Amino acid sequence: MSYDYIILASLTLTMISYSWVPCVIIAVLAILWTYFFPNSINQRIRWWWCTKVALLLFAFIPYLTFFVPGGGKSEQVWLDKVIEHIEVKRDECEDPEMKAILDYIARWYNYIGFCGVMVVQLPEGILGLNVPHCPGITLDECHLRGTIKFAASTLVHQAMHDYPPYYCHFHIDDNHILETL
């Protein structure tokens, strides 16, 4: 029995869902099962093929989002207001680390589009996305109708995911962000 379809189905589920951990576990188990218990040399060759496809998909899928424009002129005007609010709060801020973070955001995330900020409709309950190894931030369209302070706090939160030297989520203190903004 070939597990190629299980592997590719798991990878597909991983790409279209936000709960990717179970899909990756299933794919890894299927790949290992196929590798350690091959029925023939053809199955071993398919294992290498599936492994290469998996590595390519996991490496390049985030970059496909660069082909989505993620907004237009009205979104850029809105983002300019958000960045202006962040710059005003940066000047008022006393904390040097938070001031550096706000300066980083004003410098790198001040435009709509490629490697900047995209404003698109996200699934319900998700306000923003940021994959640390893929430059750019994605914000939900609900921010266009909300307050500038709320949009700025979400932008700061998402930008802190890839703020050097930190990556991921463990260093983000949302209460401190809300106090600053």
pLDDT reading at 1 higher than 80 = no
Report strand pairing: 117-120 vs 137-140. parallel
Delimit the domains of the chain by residue range. Answer: 4-64, 68-180
Nearest alpha-carbon partner for 144 in 106, 112, 115: 112
pLDDT reading at 18 higher than 50 = no
- The predicted structure's pLDDT at residue 20: 53
The predicted-structure confidence for 37-53, as pLDDT tens digits, reads as follows 666 666 666 667 777 77
Q: Residue 172 phi/psi, 5° resolution?
A: -85, 125
Per-residue pLDDT averaged across 133-156, rounded?
81
- The predicted structure's pLDDT at residue 117: 82
Looking at residue 109, what DSSP letter applies? Answer: S
CB-CB contact of 86 with 99 (8 Å): no
The predicted-structure confidence for 151-168, as pLDDT tens digits, reads as follows 888 888 888 877 776 655
Mean of per-residue pLDDT scores for the chain = 73
The whole-model pTM stands at 0.59
pLDDT reading at 175 higher than 60 = yes
Nearest alpha-carbon partner for 117 in 146, 84, 76: 76
The predicted-structure confidence for 55-71, as pLDDT tens digits, reads as follows 677 666 656 655 555 66
pLDDT band at 84 (very low <50, low <70, confident <90, very high): very high
CA-CA-CA-CA dihedral for 48, 43, 19, 127, to nearest 10: 40
Q: Which residues pair with 112 in a beta bridge?
A: 117
Question: Which CATH architecture describes the domain 68-180?
Answer: 2-Layer Sandwich (3.30)
Residue 120: which H helix or E strand, with range? strand 117-120
- Taking CB atoms within 8 Å and a gap of at least 24, the contacts of 25-28 are 27/54
Which two three-digit tokens encode residue 77?
């005007």
The predicted-structure confidence for 86-125, as pLDDT tens digits, reads as follows 899 888 888 888 888 888 888 888 888 767 788 877 777 7
